[in-house]
Amino acid sequence: MKGRKWLKRLIISLGTACFIVLIVGIICQYQAERAASPNDKYMTSDGYYKAVGVPPYCVYKDVLKRHGEPMEIKEYWVRDTLFGYYLCYDCITFLCVDQGLVDGQRDKIVSDPSEILCTRFIVTSDAYTFGKNKIKVGSTKAEVDWAYRRNMTSFEVPGHGGGYIDGFWSAVRFIYDENNRVTQITFNVDCT
């Protein structure tokens, strides 16, 4: 009899201890999530660049180094001023702009474009995925909303898709087809 009482008390004590450890773990996880910086809750600018294989805030020559010669190079004009170049590849296009022009330090683009900043890329195939939810071309609008809307400011532009702004000068925009599937993802960082 004494042995059974001791065993019963041991089982109850161990069960209670496990329950307390579980509750403390849940509380600690909740507190850690509340204390996390906004950057810990979603993909950062650095993460988007890394996902497409270039260094964060890369320049023209970094894109060429990683992706090789583009299929096409298009000029990017603002009013009557050449601001930069689109580097067009099979499933991704990079926009590199002369930051000196944007900042008003120069009135024409530098003669050597190798150092101009990559400020935008446009993904048009499922070759690239973003974030822990693996959002890509082909994802549904519901999947995108689930991955982004909880943590970022959203915007919708009729006929031009919708997107999310992280509050730290970068935005991601999604274009959807008639079936609410992503056809294009544009990541833009504003360095001004």
Look up residue 84 and give its two tokens.
């930069």
Q: What is the pLDDT of residues 147-177, one digit of tens each?
A: 876 656 666 666 666 666 665 567 888 888 9
Q: 131: helix, coil or strand?
A: coil
Distances (CA, A) of 153 to 19, 26, 39, 137: 38, 28, 13, 21
- In DSSP notation, 60-73 reads HHHHHHHH-S-SEE
pLDDT of residue 92: 94
Together in a domain, 93 and 170: yes
- Segment 165-190 mean pLDDT: 82
Domain membership flag for residue 164: yes
Domain membership flag for residue 40: no
- Overall pTM surpassing 0.85 (yes/no): no
Q: What is the pLDDT of residues 39-96, one digit of tens each?
A: 444 567 778 888 898 988 888 999 999 999 999 999 888 887 778 889 999 999 999 8
For the chain, the domain total comes to: 2
Domain extent for 168: 45-189
**In the predicted model, is pLDDT for residue 142 greater than 80?**
yes
Look up residue 178 and give its two tokens.
């008639």
Among 110, 136, 142, CA closest to 123: 136
**In the predicted model, is pLDDT for residue 110 greater than 60?**
yes
Domain membership flag for residue 60: yes
Together in a domain, 11 and 81: no
Domain membership flag for residue 172: yes
pLDDT of residue 31: 56
Together in a domain, 64 and 9: no
To which H or E segment does residue 173 belong? Answer: strand 170-176
Together in a domain, 24 and 85: no
Cα–Cα dist 104/96, whole Å: 16
Together in a domain, 20 and 107: no
Together in a domain, 111 and 74: yes
Instruction: Give percent above pLDDT 70 in the chain.
Output: 71
Domain membership flag for residue 150: yes
Together in a domain, 148 and 69: yes
Look up residue 115 and give its two tokens.
């150092």
